[in-house]
Amino acid sequence: MTTTDLDQAASALDAADPLARFRDLFVGSESSLVYFDGNSLGRPPRASVERLARFATEQWGGRLIRGWDESWMQLPFVIGDEIGRTAIGAAAGQTVIGDSTTVLIYKLVRAAFDAQRAADPARVEIVVDRDNFPTDRYLVDGIARECGGRVRWIDVDLSAGVTASGLSAVVGPETAVVVLSHVAYRSGHLADAETLTRIAQDAGALVVWDLCHSAGSVPVHSDAWGFDLAVGCTYKYLNGGPGSPAFAYVAERHQERLAQPIQGWMGAADVFAMGPTYRPADGMRRWLSGTPPIVGMLAMQDTLAMIADAGLPAVRAKSIDLTEFAVRTSDELLAPLGVTVASPRDPEQRGGHVTLSHPAMRAVTARLWEQDVIPDYRDPDGLRIGLSPLSTSFAETLAGMRAVRDAVVALG
C-alpha cells in the first residue's frame, strides 16, 4: 500500500465514521499532537472542564456542606449504576464508585477469599496469571501471605493471555478465588470472560474480574456472563481524569454473604450514628469505607453520557476499525524495519490497544514524546498504541504510525 493509499484509506474511514462527531468534544482534539495513550489516561471532555468549574463555584462554593445532604451522599451509587448500565452490563444496585483500583481489588479479593475459606477450609489458593497487571499480582501475593493461603500461577503467552485450557489446568478443590483481566494490559488480549467465569465457578471458585482496560471500550455483560465480582478504573476509556476513583461490581447474590475487610464509617448501616460497633449497611453501601471522592467522580459523567449516546456496540466497532487500521499500517510501514505486532491479530481476541515490539522501542517512545506523539512503553520492547474510539481519528492514527516509523529508522 502506497503513501497515497494510506492517506486515502484514513480519509475514507474518517468520512464514514459514525462517531467522528464526538472527537471535537475533547480538549486538545484540534491540536496536531498525536495521542496514543488513551488506554492509560483519556483526554478530558470539554464539558467536564465546565462541569468542574461549575461545581467549584455553585455546589462546593455555594452549597458548601449542604451538598452532602442534597446530592453527594448518593453520587457513588448514581454514577455506579450508570457505569453498570452503560459500560459493564449490570443491573442497578450492584456497582459503586469507591476507592482507588488497588484498594477495591484488595477489598473484593480479600472478601472473596475469606468467605470461601470459611465455607471450605481446603480452599486456600488464589489463581492469577503471571502476566496480569502488577497491582493485581502484588495484591494476590500479599493477601495470600496475610491469610495463610497460597498463589497458584498461570503461565501465559505474553502476546496473548489466559485461555480456557490454561485456567482449567490450575483450578480445582483448593481454589478459592480466581483473579483475571478482561483485556491484558501488555498485549491487549481480550479474554473469553463468559467461558473463563464458568470454568472457575464450576470448580467452586469465585472470580474477580479486572475491567480496567475494557470498561468503556469493549462490551462487558457482567450479569449475563455470571460475574461474581469486578473492579475497573475510570481514568482510561471513561475519561475521569488522573487518579479518578475506581468502581466495584458485586453481584447481588453475594452482597450479604461477603464481609467488607476495610470497615469505615461510610459503609455502616447508619452513617451518622457514630456507634461503638460497626454494623455493615445493606447492599453496595457496605463496600464504601471513607468519605467518597466527589470531585474525582465529576468528569466521568460526561463520557458516560457520550457512550450512552453512541452505544457501546458502535464504540466497539470503531475500536476494532482503529486497531485493524493500526495493524495494517504497521504491516506496511514497520514490518520491513523488523517491528512485530505483539498483540492478537484476530480482532475478536483483541481489546482497544495494539502493542508493537522492537528492541529500540524504549528509546523510540522517549523520542516520540519530545515530538508530541504520545504512546507508552512496556517491557519487553513493547510500544503500546491505545486508541480511544470517541476521541481518536484515523488520520491521527496514521500520523502517529508514520512518526513511529521515522523514530525506528532514526534509532533502530
Q: Which residues are catalytic?
A: 133, 210, 235-236, 384
Task: Report the alpha-carbon distance of residue 240 to residue 53 in Å, rounded.
Answer: 15
- Whole-Å CA distances, 269 to 69, 203, 259, 273: 17, 34, 13, 9
Task: Report the alpha-carbon distance of residue 289 to residue 277 in Å, rounded.
Answer: 15
Task: Dig out the grid coordinates for 173 from the structure.
Answer: 478443590
* Cross-strand pairs, 273: none
**Residues 93 and 319 sit within 8 Å (Cβ to Cβ):** no
Task: Report the alpha-carbon distance of residue 190 to residue 204 in Å, rounded.
Answer: 24
Task: Dig out the grid coordinates for 179 from the structure.
Answer: 483473579
Contacts of 187 (CB under 8 A, 6+ apart): 131, 158, 159, 160, 161, 342, 343, 344, 355
Strands 34-35 and 382-386: unpaired
Task: Return the closest-CA partner of residue 44 out of 28, 20, 64, 63.
Answer: 28
From the number of C-beta atoms within 10 Å of its C-beta (0-12, 13-18, 19+), residue 304 rates as buried
- Whole-Å CA distances, 159 to 59, 178, 198, 364, 381: 47, 21, 24, 20, 12
